[in-house]
Amino acid sequence: MRVLFAGTGAFGVPCLEALVASDRHFVLSVITQPDRPAGRSQKPLASPIKEAALRSHLQVYQPEDINAANSLSQIRYQKADLMIVVAYGQILKKSLLELP
């Protein structure tokens, strides 16, 4: 099964790792929040999901708004069978939920 994974927090990392390890699923790419300034130096910090995706050599897409037209186009283009969302951090609008 061709899967897109969307998540940001550490809560979703075990799920992503299980999908990557599965013989029955192929993770097409990972969608996560953009890197955000953190700490005293305010250097951009990658999400735990992005770090896990890069360790697994997966393509990472970081839209500011997952519901924007260009994001929907990118998601549609990948022709996934399923999109799994775990602790993403944005409300998914009807236009995204109804994608084929």
pLDDT given at position 38: 84
The pTM score is 0.92
Residues in the chain: 100
Beta carbons of 49 and 75 less than 8 angstroms apart? no
Q: How much is the mean pLDDT over the chain?
A: 96
Q: What is the pLDDT of residues 24-66, one digit of tens each?
A: 999 999 999 999 988 888 999 999 999 999 999 999 999 999 9
Domain limits at 59?
A: 2-97
Token reading at 82: 């399923």
Tally of domains within the chain? 1
Report residue 20's pLDDT band, with 50, 70 and 90 as the boundaries.
very high
